[in-house]
Homo-oligomer: A and B are copies of this chain.
């Protein structure tokens, strides 16, 4: 097990309906030393890619993107949900369905911050059915930017998001892939990775 899988076993909580709660260290309360380590690990995995910008989506993704962008020494950009009066009209948009919240959001990135010269690393905390990630990819493509890689902290391997993104040819790295969880025994089955 790597550092993240160990932490999930230690502090993650398996609930009914394939819910894995990691809110004590990753997406409500956040362990900054763990975030730093996540940043270093993604940097190690994508170090040869000449990344120019890290892209994510609010909210939990922001901390991941910051950790990663710091290691690369590049800016991060987070896609916003819904329209803010403080955002100019000139923006890339995609529609994203939320698995967690059971609703649809328009996500937006200002055109000022993505260009055809950008070599992007897209990061997020969770990957389940992949809707958020597909929205970010769609926005990157609209900008003419290159998606050099995708870094996910926890992938739910029993949902179809990861497979469909990999089938599209993207270089997707997940620090932990959960292939199954037993709500009775609380056992978590991680996919073996190289």
Contacts and interface: CB of A to CB of B under 8 A. Distances in A.
Task: State the majority secondary structure of interface residues on A.
Answer: mixed
Interface stretch (A83-91, A150-158, A174-182): A83-91
Number of chain copies forming the complex: 2
Interface residues of A, number: 41
A66 interface: yes
A85 B100 contact: yes
A73 B34 CA distance: 11
Interface of A: 19, 21, 23-24, 28-33, 35-36, 58-60, 62-63, 65-67, 69-70, 73-78, 80, 82, 84-87, 100-102, 109-110, 112-113
Contact of A24 (B29, B33, B113): B113
A29 B69 CA distance: 11
